[in-house]
Amino acid sequence: MTTAISLFTRDLRVHDNPVLHHAARAANVVPLFVLDEAVLSGAFGSPNRVSFLLDSLADLNRSLESRGGRLVIRRGDPVAEVCQLVSETGAEEVHVARDVSGYAQKREDRLRLELSARHCVLHVHEAVITTQPPGAVVPSGNDHFAVFTPYFRRWCEQQTRAVLPAPDVLRVPEVQGRPLPGRRALCDGEVSPRVLRGGESEGRERMREWSAATVCEYVHAHDDLAADATSRLSPYLHFGCVSSTELVVNAGPSEGEQAFVRQLAWRDFHHQVLAARPASSERDYRTRHDQWREDPGALHAWQRGSTGYPIVDAGMRQLQAEGWMHNRARLITASFLTKTLYLDWRLGAAHFLDLLVDGDIANNNLNWQWVAGTGTDTRPNRVLNPVRQAGRYDPGGDYVRFHVPELADLPTEQLLDPDRLQPTERRRRGYPAPIVDLAEARERFMSARGRG
Ligand SMILES: Cc1cc2nc3c(=O)[nH]c(=O)nc-3n(C[C@H](O)[C@H](O)[C@H](O)COP(=O)(O)OP(=O)(O)OC[C@H]3O[C@@H](n4cnc5c(N)ncnc54)[C@H](O)[C@@H]3O)c2cc1C
């Protein structure tokens, strides 16, 4: 009788999960999740993500129970816990998903070493977290693509693996696990008031609704801030509650569906950059020799959503309230921090990671680098003007009205352009004056980048 351990990481689902699917072929399977102290005590243990994680684990346990199994929870170092479980159960195989961060790559190396000493085989499954595995789509003579458009061309030509069914029945041997702890046992701080509920069941429901109704509008409306017409699947993708492969395989040929698939390819793109260059989580991917300014007051105003630029403040307040921000607002707020205020992208990335329920190193830090011009953007010195962006992507002002209620009853042109708002009126409403002059800021940035 063979026993296999199915080690869940960022693949918290039973449908289309190669890790669980292959482990479940053994006579006995131990579905295991380790609450990793190193991850939870660092930047990743933020209240929004921990809350989403706990929802997802509870949901996964229910799904496993309905198949005769259950989720074994342990806490500590995942490698030590897996080894311990191997000795307790005599497991001959461990299955896990390939992941891309430096931390995940080291975890995989450590697992391989420790398990081989115990004559236990490690099976690392590709295309669990992304649709195309990092390293599968590469240009000749390099280990990754540094520009999205040629990457996407090749990505589209690639075969996608078949979608796997959820296992029908699981046989789990008698092993000790811990009960799922409450959130406060894992992290301090408050959860954002409107954060999404985690779990595969929620994710699949959202995926079904999205595919049935909204995706058709996507091509026209994905940048319209007030329309809120994106899928909001990002946290479910981050924790693997839904499978990007399933989304890609099930997408039809319509413009909306194909535009959506292109965004999923962006996700794969950033993952393959991080897999090849793990240090780009912290270091400039392409240095522009920036001497970033230090200005704690401006940083704080940006974080609080009180820069005096309503579109920027709306985005930052959406982040606080929902643990999520619309992609267009992420672009505007990130450009404002790195180019208009000329503050280090790492400060912005860290603040986003504190709050984003979908926050991950590949998508967050490499998108921050993309916006800052130190990453893979082929136009690294473009600066987004927040007044023009507001006019274009929130022309009716409804996104600002919703997130900056003290300005809600103003005429639209005053909402979009703070120069049109009288100082007395601004003061009466307790709304700040702009913390920076856009023309001067642009000049400062261009001359810092040697283009002044
Ligand atoms: C500064 C900045 C930081 C970001 N941080 C994160 C992050 O931590 N986690 C994260 O998942 N996304 C991040 N993004 C990318 C993007 O903003 C979000 O994926 C998107 O807003 C999530 O909403 P959605 O699921 O409704 O997206 P949709 O528009 O419905 O897109 C579908 C999926 O495609 C993927 N996707 C879309 N756009 C991108 C992109 N530019 N890069 C990578 N994947 C993308 C996401 O998985 C998303 O769920 C960031 C973007 C910027 C500019």
- Mean pLDDT across 259-278: 97
One-letter amino acid identity for 201? S
Q: Which two tokens stand for residue 385?
A: 């003007």
Band of residue 300 on the pLDDT scale cut at 50, 70, 90: very high
Using 50, 70 and 90 to split pLDDT, how confident is the model at 52? Answer: very high
Contact criterion met (CB below 8 Å) for 125 and 22: yes
Section 110-120 average pLDDT: 97
C-alpha 150 to ligand 1 mean position (Å): 20
CATH of domain 131-160+200-276: 1.25.40.80
DSSP state of 344: -
Name the one residue in this structure whose structure tokens are 């990002």: 234
- 178 near 74, Cβ under 8 Å? yes
Which residue from 238, 367, 382 has its CB within 8 A of the most atoms of ligand 1, so it is best to mutate? 367
Report whether 2 contacts 92 (CB < 8 A). Answer: yes
Residue nearest to atom 17 of ligand 1 (CA): 327
H/E element, 389 = helix 386-393
- Which residues lie with the beta carbon below 6 Å from any ligand 1 atom? 222, 230-234, 237-238, 260, 263-264, 266-267, 270, 327, 330-331, 334, 352, 356, 358-360, 363-364, 367-368, 371
- Whole-number Å distance, alpha carbon 234 to ligand 1 midpoint, is 6
Tokens of 265: 């390819």
Average pLDDT, stretch 265-294? 97
Positive/negative CA dihedral, 361, 366, 367, 369: positive
Query: Helix (H, G, I), strand (E, B), or coil: what is residue 261?
Result: helix
CA-based torsion, 296, 297, 300, 302: positive or negative: negative
Sole residue written with tokens 């000493």: 117
Which sign, positive or negative, has the C-alpha torsion 189, 366, 240, 226? positive
Residue 292 to residues 112, 289, 299, 405, 428: CA-CA distances in angstroms? 41, 9, 12, 33, 35
Region 324-333 average pLDDT = 98
Are the C-beta atoms of residues 163 and 243 closer than 8 Å to each other? yes
Q: How far apart (Å, rounded) are the C-alpha atoms in residues 127 and 227?
A: 32
Distance between alpha carbon 406 and the CA centroid of its chain, in Å? 30
**The predicted structure's pLDDT at residue 452:** 54
The torsion angles phi and psi of 95, rounded to 5 degrees, stand at -115, 135
pLDDT at 211 over 90: no
Q: Is 103 annotated as a binding residue?
A: no
Nearest Cα neighbor of 304 from 321, 328, 324, 326 is 321
Average pLDDT over the chain reads: 96
The strands making up 93-97's β-sheet, listed across from edge to edge, are: 72-76, 28-36, 3-8, 93-97, 121-125
As a CATH number, domain 296-448 is 1.10.579.10
Q: 71: pLDDT confidence band, cut at 50, 70 and 90?
A: very high
Contact 200, 59 (CB under 8 A): yes
- Alpha carbons 99 and 82: distance in angstroms, whole number: 17
User: How far lies 266's CA from each of 19, 32, 86, 148, in Å?
Assistant: 24, 30, 37, 7
Q: Whose CA is nearest to atom 4 of ligand 1?
A: 364
Average pLDDT for 10-25: 98
Task: Tell me: is residue 231 an annotated ligand-binding position.
Answer: yes
Which among 223, 318, 358, 399 is the best mutation to test ligand 1's pocket, defined by most ligand atoms within 8 Å of the CB?
Answer: 358
42 pLDDT tier (thresholds 50, 70, 90): confident
- How remote is the CA of residue 2 from the centroid of ligand 1, in Å? 41
Q: What's residue 216's pLDDT?
A: 77
The residue whose CB lies within 8 Å of the most ligand 1 atoms, and thus the one to mutate among 363, 376, 399, is 363
- Return the H-helix or E-strand segment holding 188: none
Longest CA–CA span in the chain (Å) reads 79
How far is Cα 44 from Cα 450, in angstroms, rounded to an integer?
36
Region 299-322: what's the mean pLDDT? 98
| 398 assigned binding-site residue | no
Residue 437 above 80 pLDDT? Answer: yes
Across 334-372, b (16+ Cβ under 10 Å) vs e yields: bbbbbbbbbbbbbbbbebbbbbbbbbbbbbbbbbbbbbb
User: What is the 445 CA–ligand 1 centroid distance (Å)?
Assistant: 26
CATH architecture of 3-129: 3-Layer(aba) Sandwich (3.40)
- Sorting pLDDT into bands at 50, 70 and 90, what band is 397? very high
Atom of ligand 1 nearest to the CA of 232: 26
8 Å CB contact between 314 and 402: yes
Nearest CA to ligand 1 atom 41: 266
What is the structure's pLDDT at 212? 84
pLDDT of residue 215: 78
Confirm whether residue 260 is marked as ligand binding. yes
pLDDT tens for 182-208 read 999 999 999 999 999 999 999 999 999
3-state percent breakdown (helix, strand, coil) of the chain, nearest 5? 50, 5, 40
Percent of the chain exceeding pLDDT 90 equals 94
- Ligand 1 centre distance from Cα of residue 232 (Å): 9
36 is in an annotated binding site: no
Q: Residue 249: how many CB atoms within 10 A of its CB?
A: 15
Rounded to whole angstroms, the Cα distance separating 105 from 390 reads: 41
Assess contact for 280 and 366: CB atoms under 8 A: yes
Which residue, judged by its Cα, is nearest atom 24 of ligand 1? Answer: 232
Tell whether 218 is in a known binding site: yes
In this prediction, what percent of the chain has a pLDDT beyond 70?
Answer: 100
For the cut 80, the answer to whether the pLDDT of residue 451 exceeds it is no
pLDDT on residue 43? 77
Read off the pLDDT of each residue in 82-87 and give the average, rounded to a whole number. Answer: 98
| Cα of 395 from ligand 1 centre, angstroms | 22
Q: Is 214 a residue whose pLDDT tops 80? A: no
* Spatial contact of 182 and 313, defined as CB atoms under 8 Å apart: no
Dist. CA 247 → ligand 1 center (Å):
15
Domain ranges of the chain: 3-129, 131-160+200-276, 296-448
Report which ligand 1 atom has the smallest distance to the Cα of 236: 49
Place of tokens 């939870």: 40
